[in-house]
Amino acid sequence: MTRTPPLLSSPGRVLAAALLCLPALALAGPDLGATEKQPLNLHAIGMFFAFVLMTLGITYWAAGRSKSASDFYTAGGGISGKQNGLAIAGDFMSAATLLGLTAMIYGQGVDGYIYMVAFFVGWPIILFLMAERLRNLGKFTFADITAYRLNQGQVRTMAAISSLVVVCFYLVAQMVGAGQLIKLLFGLEYNVALVIVGVLMMVYVIFGGMVATTWVQIIKACMLLTGGTAIMLLAFSQFGFSFETLTNRAMEVHKLGPNLLASGSLLADPVTAISMGLGLMFGIAGLPHILMRFFTVTNAKEARKSVFYASGIIAFFFHVIAFMGLCSIVLVGTDPQFFEGGDVAGKLIGGGNMVALHLAKAAGGNLLLGFLSAVAFATILAVVAGLALAGASAISHDLYARVIMKGNVSEEKEIRVSKMATLGLGVVAVLLGVAFEKMNVAFMVALAFGVASCANFPVLLMSMYWRGLTTRGALVGGYTGLISSVLFVVFSKSVWVDVLGNAAPLFPYTQPALFAMPLAFLCIYVFSKLDNSEQARMERAAFDDQYVRAQTGVGAASAAAH
């Protein structure tokens, strides 16, 4: 009997096609030269292809292991706490973390460090308040928890809508970043770069599911930690590993002078500062692609371990970035080769977000620059894959399987719908990336965190901890948080003036969390209290069963298996 070689199977043919197409796209690079591009970075392209080949191989391996819905969405719940901690860190440490925060330290000093602290404070909240209950109560998405004892159709629809809003805005920001990065470093056209990211994202998710996505994130996290630490040590060594020497030199050459180590414009408006801190802190606890990772481990203990390891890794990397930013002030900010026209008073080549890449070249030459460029692109790929999987699961598991089909659907059909949703999200991400190429995408990230902190987090927290929550309260509070946070951002200066060109903002602050999040909590409380229907009484009575399972995990294993 003749056996078909493995590479001729359906996943194999797709992966082989991807491998054949990518080099062809790369060869187009030298013919696409334009004034805004840098010379073709052969080191970066070589390392990028090494990463892509490795991850496509992992996807081919994972394709044979993603048979059930549990495998596709949560890797069968078989990821260890350490592995999941690395994957969570990989999911969280986006290109904005590496490039954006380094640039913020370079430009604004301590303000950038305060920004990092606001990002980090959300992790203890997840560790102490959410990780264990998420694992014990959830199955595939956080909507499983919010709808545990409430009206399944209505609450899942609300949770899926808010999840898709967060995913789409986060996705667009990553896609635009990927396009600009490759355009600068690899010599490819912006639209071609978007197609590469979109195709790879779809291959990872459709054929490998959560298994492939997890391992792509783990590899990317290791590369990011290794590359960032190497650059930081090489740069720091030029100051004799003396923090005092480094800071003194930085203050001498930076425009802020001694104020480099003092809080500046970020805290000039305390209302905006508090609102930003709340949004970043609680937004992390409402990001669907982060919450989804807690369903991939075997039990609640491993979920807690995941957050513990992720917190340590992220804290370490934030400090690596802080040192990179300070070293950049001296090594990049005083070197004419990194500025347009060779004048340090001019603009940085590639813009402010390229500071980390310029530092890599200053500290280790083109080889290290190539490695960090490939890592930055790998970072975007991994985050985009996690976002796509979260969005696809919201569409297939929450909307299609539970709302439209009311649970009467086979796992095979649900997975098929999820793969179709991934294709759709990939196409939408590429098209939106093209549409938003010239636009400042910072407001999209703010909107993603704003929606997560104001729509997802209040309903999720109250559903786990408050007996009095009812479907009416969850719906009114969730939709209020969702709509108000979007409107506050749209009416702020970031969008109303800078993007839409109006003379003055309708909302005086740039961050919505301080206003929209309390409004969401208030609506949840008031409308739940006012609901005295029979359904509401049954929902309150069901809290005892939920509480026992949240504390003990009884029934969690059987639910994950179905």
pTM (2 decimals)? Answer: 0.83
pLDDT tier for residue 556 given thresholds of 50, 70 and 90: low
Which pLDDT score, from 0 to 100, does residue 24 have? 31
pLDDT tier for residue 529 given thresholds of 50, 70 and 90: very high
CATH class held by domain 79-553? mainly alpha
Q: Taking the CA atoms of 181, 182, 186 and 191 in sequence, report the sign of the dihedral they define.
A: negative
Task: Determine the Cα–Cα distance for residues 115 and 113; give it in Å rounded to an integer.
Answer: 5
Which residue shows structure tokens 């080549």? Answer: 349
Q: Is 203 left (phi over 0), alpha (psi -120 to 50) or beta?
A: alpha
DSSP state of 38: P
Enumerate the domain spans of the chain: 79-553
Task: Determine the Cα–Cα distance for residues 308 and 124; give it in Å rounded to an integer.
Answer: 9
Which pLDDT score, from 0 to 100, does residue 29 have? 31
Q: For residue 400, what are the contacts with CB-CB under 8 A and spacing of at least 6?
A: 409, 414, 417
Higher pLDDT, 229 or 408: 229
Average pLDDT over residues 19-27: 33
Count the Cβ atoms, other than its own, within 10 Å of residue 281: 22
Which pLDDT score, from 0 to 100, does residue 440 have? 53
Q: Could you report the per-residue pLDDT of 274-324, keeping only the tens digit for each?
A: 898 899 889 988 888 888 888 888 888 888 999 999 999 999 999 999 999
On whether the CB atoms of residues 229 and 322 are closer than 8 A, the answer is no
Q: Is the pLDDT of residue 170 over 90?
A: no
Which pLDDT score, from 0 to 100, does residue 441 have? 57
Q: Could you report the per-residue pLDDT of 351-387, keeping only the tens digit for each?
A: 777 888 899 999 988 888 888 888 887 778 778 888 8
Which pLDDT score, from 0 to 100, does residue 55 have? 80
On whether the CB atoms of residues 32 and 187 are closer than 8 A, the answer is yes
On whether the CB atoms of residues 266 and 108 are closer than 8 A, the answer is yes
Task: Determine the Cα–Cα distance for residues 547 and 36; give it in Å rounded to an integer.
Answer: 58
Which pLDDT score, from 0 to 100, does residue 22 have? 34
Q: Which residues of 7-21 are buried (b: 16+ CB within 10 A; e: fewer)?
A: eeeebbebbeebeee
pLDDT tier for residue 41 given thresholds of 50, 70 and 90: low
Task: Determine the Cα–Cα distance for residues 74 and 210; give it in Å rounded to an integer.
Answer: 6
Average pLDDT over residues 316-341: 91
